[in-house]
Amino acid sequence: MKGTSRGSQEQQVTSAGRPVTADLFLLHKHKGARNELAATVWLLDQGYEVFRNISQHGAVDIIATRNGEIVFIDVKARHPSSTGAVGARATEEQYERGVKFLYINAATGEISLGDPLPPFVTAPCDLCGNLFTQKRSEQRYCSRNCRERAKYHSRRSG
CB nearer to Zn ion: give 18 or 155: 155
- Cβ proximity to Zn ion: between 58 and 124 the closer is 124
The amino acid at residue 18 is: R
Residue closer to Zn ion by CB (options 27, 125) is 125
CB of 14 to Zn ion, least distance (A): 54
Residue closer to Zn ion (CB basis): 77 or 125: 125
- Cβ-contact 32, 77 below 8 angstroms: yes
Nearest approach in angstroms of CB 128 to Zn ion is 3
**Alpha carbons 115 and 132: distance in angstroms, whole number:** 25
Please report how close the Cβ of residue 19 comes to Zn ion at its closest, in angstroms. 59
Strand partners of residue 30: none
Residue 62 CB neighbour total at 10 angstroms: 20
Shortest Å distance, C-beta 140 to Zn ion: 9
72-110 as b/e: b if 16+ CB within 10 A: bbbbbebeeeeeeeeeeebeeebbeeebbbbbbbbeeee
Per CB under 5 A, residues contacting Zn ion are 125, 127-128, 142, 146
* DSSP category for residue 127: T
What Rg, from alpha-carbon coordinates, does the chain have? 24
Closest approach, Cβ 119 to Zn ion, in A, equals 21
